[in-house]
Amino acid sequence: MSGKEHWDLLYRSKSDDELSWTQIEPVMSLNLIGEACSSGRVIDVGGGTSILAERLLDRGYTVAVADISEVALEHARNRLGAKASKILWIAADVSAGPSLGTFDVWHDRAVFHFLTASADRAAYRNLLAQTVPAGGHAVIGTFALDGPQKCSALEVQPYDGPMLAAELGPRFALLKSEPEIHVTPKGGRQSFQFSLFKRV
């Protein structure tokens, strides 16, 4: 099964409260994006059906959501109703070299850790550098070193801030890393790290 088929099937067969990653409020993401800039263009990469895009829109940001799953994007659009037309929706695989345009902030919660092949991580790194010009920022949340080893039956690579910085290379300076315990809709606890980078 391809990556797209895997994610489309998941989003087709489960509601948001059956998906382990669903958050009620994306507090850490909003705080770190706010530290990066209080206005501007934000892309939520692998945004799925997250409420983050709506919260960003309400704060006055210009917002795009990119995801490999068209089903996820459709669910997110349906939930937003009329507001959906204010967001740019991009069906794209970040490991396949799409063109996303340019943004002040790149946000990724729980996508990069699925890229266990080095060629996919290299493609992501190049896309990130193309998408975020000098002075822009990236907020990347992944499972932490003491976090889960798998998600949705897929292997993951957990990170801490310095490991993530080493993956992104010298074009992105690590400004800070924060731990977060995500409580899943079923009450499980998952250890994440969120890192804020500046494009140099």
Ligand X SMILES: C[S@@+](CC[C@H](N)C(=O)[O-])C[C@H]1O[C@@H](n2cnc3c(N)ncnc32)[C@H](O)[C@@H]1O
Q: Which residues bind ligand X (CB under 6 A)?
A: 3, 7, 21, 46-48, 50, 67-69, 72, 93-95, 109-111, 114, 151
Is 95 or 177 the residue whose CB approaches ligand X more closely?
95
Alpha carbon distance 80, 95 (integer Å):
27
Smallest gap, in angstroms, from Cβ of residue 119 to ligand X?
12
Smallest gap, in angstroms, from Cβ of residue 13 to ligand X?
13
- Phi, psi (degrees; rounded to nearest 5) at 150: -145, 155
CA 126 to chain centre: 16
Smallest gap, in angstroms, from Cβ of residue 3 to ligand X?
5
Smallest gap, in angstroms, from Cβ of residue 195 to ligand X?
15
**Residue from 2, 53, 12 nearest 29 by CA:** 53
DSSP 8-state assignment for residue 68: S
Question: What is the b/e burial string over 170-198, where b = at least 16 CB atoms within 10 angstroms of the residue's CB?
Answer: eebebbebeebebeeeeeeebebbbbbbb
Strands in 53-134 per DSSP E: 62-67, 88-91, 105-109
Is 36 or 72 the residue whose CB approaches ligand X more closely?
72
Is 135 or 189 the residue whose CB approaches ligand X more closely?
189
Smallest gap, in angstroms, from Cβ of residue 22 to ligand X?
6
Alpha carbon distance 122, 37 (integer Å):
27
Q: Both tokens of residue 83?
A: 């507001």
Is 27 or 200 the residue whose CB approaches ligand X more closely?
27
Is 142 or 177 the residue whose CB approaches ligand X more closely?
142
